[in-house]
Amino acid sequence: MSENQYLEVKLSEMAKASKRKVAHIREDILKMFPDRELVTMRSPLAGDGDPGDLAGLDPEQLSDEFKADVTFIRAKIINDTPVKQIWSRKITGKAFVFLLTEYVQGLNKQGSRIDFSTDWQFY
């Protein structure tokens, strides 16, 4: 079974869920991602150890497979993301990566609040 087939099977299983919250999540995924693709990534470490804080690891500690997966998905996002519009401004894959980085950094700061409009102004 391919990654995308697996994703679609799981989404159809969610449709059978009795909980409304699960069904709502499924509906949101289908609505927001009509052209969706699942890309799986291998473990960051060569062994079965817990990677903990990936940002704190030395790049040499990461498995070659994981680094290849990161390179693949990064290129896919930057090159294959169709141009979208946010607040009437075009956003490319490269701009999306920038904004995503800003949001992740904001989420990782304890007690911080993300202001999407501020990040968008810097783009």
pLDDT, tens digit, for every residue of 87-96?
Answer: 777 777 777 7
Average pLDDT over residues 46-55: 70
In the chain, where the domains are located: 1-38, 62-123
Look up the pTM and report it: 0.55
Q: Is the pLDDT at 123 greater than 50, yes or no?
A: no
CA geometry: angle at 49 spanning 46 and 53, to 5°?
100
Q: Which two tokens stand for residue 71?
A: 């390179």
89's CB contacts (< 8 A; 6+ apart) are 120, 123
What is the reported pLDDT for 68? 93
Average pLDDT over residues 44-68: 80
Higher pLDDT, 2 or 48: 2
